[in-house]
Amino acid sequence: MASRAVPVHDADTVGILGTGSCLPGKVVTNDEVGAPAGVTDEWITRKTAIRERRWAKADEATSDLASMAARAALDDAGVCAADISLVLVATSTPDSPQPPTAAAVAAELGVSAGTPAFDLNAVCSGFVFALVTAERMIRGTGGHAVVVGADIYSRTLDPADRRTVVLFGDGAGAVVLGPTTTGGVLATELATFPQERDLISVPAGGSRIPASPASVAQGLHYFTMDGPAVRRFVESRVGPLIRSFLDRHLPDRTRRPHFVPHQANGRMIEALAEQLGFLPEHTHTTVRFLGNTGAASVPVTLDRAAGSLAPGDLVVLAGFGGGMAAGLALVEWQATGSAGRSRTRPGALTGDGT
């Protein structure tokens, strides 16, 4: 589905008013994850461009990271909790099957009783799916939404599986959406390819294979992925989908857009950006020092990139992953942050191209 393709600003225009992120303090090196999986730092860097990632501590849950990212985004936007009319958390690693993680985030933020809060699971595409959902829900209402992407994948990884354990990190990123007279969400597209849904999975822990001693013994609660098939999916499905999206919604390429893709794998991002003609200086990444943070990767990378974006810049957000699915959004940037202040990000990941 697609929204408006023409940048017309009216009372119904919804834009990104602020961004925020939260990363665990524990840094995990390639040597640490590579040894149990039987691979070296050189092998991991060559295959993925990842040098390190952050993993949550034992007492940190997805809602903890999500709440801190959401609060940072609210502070950045200059919006208080009482003004929030929707809390939406994209995650495939919730605190628990129920209640929704978004309810814990809403409680931590102190939003008004009765404010809707719910989770959305579209795996690594989740944040863009959630952004589109929230934008549609608040458009024309004058309300504000907190949209969070958050995952703790370190809890689902098989330490001996080199295909997955070297890729993933933990984190959360968030945006505040609200009415704006400049900038805003100009176009969106969501797509799912269910015939390929088994390329990425966590087989057990749901209603088909409930948790049991047998499922644990068989390792069915671990994250599994067919890496070569996922790469082919990105090349054959995601690349053409983004190209078609740009052709329809941004035919005038004289306005060179910024590109904030899902941080699946550094080598994959390089190939995808080159395939689509995005300038290297406009392609924003955090994968080298954070790895693949699932639904958090797009908003975390956007938060890191915000300091280099100017009002009027065009930004393409692209999430893709399990389902298999992809979510796209074209955003015209505005002077985000309180009173449009300069967006300097503390703790910048030096040398990560953001």
Q: Which residues, including other chains, have CB under 8 Å from residue 123's CB and lie 6 or more apart?
A: 92, 200, 294, 295, 321, 322, 323, 325
Q: State the catalytic residue, choosing from 262, 265, 282, 284.
A: 262
Whether 37 and 160 have beta carbons less than 8 Å apart is answered as: yes
Q: State the catalytic residue, choosing from 22, 30, 124, 265.
A: 124
**DSSP strand pairing (84-90 vs 144-152):** parallel
Q: Which residues, including other chains, have CB under 8 Å from residue 20's CB and lie 6 or more apart?
A: 68, 69, 70, 71, 72, 73, 74, 75, 76, 173, 174, 175, 303
Residue 354, SS3?
coil
Q: State the catalytic residue, choosing from 22, 30, 144, 292.
A: 292
80 tagged catalytic: no
Residue 77: C-alpha distances to residues 21, 131, 149, 272, 304 (Å): 13, 16, 17, 32, 15
Residue 231: C-alpha distances to residues 10, 25, 239, 263 (Å): 40, 30, 11, 13
| Tokens read off for 61 | 């849950």
Residue 18 pairs in a beta bridge with 176
Exposure of 151 in the CB half-sphere (CA atoms within 13 A): 31
292 tagged catalytic: yes
262 tagged catalytic: yes
CA angle in degrees (0–180, nearest 5) for 293-132-13: 130
Positions marked catalytic: 124, 262, 292
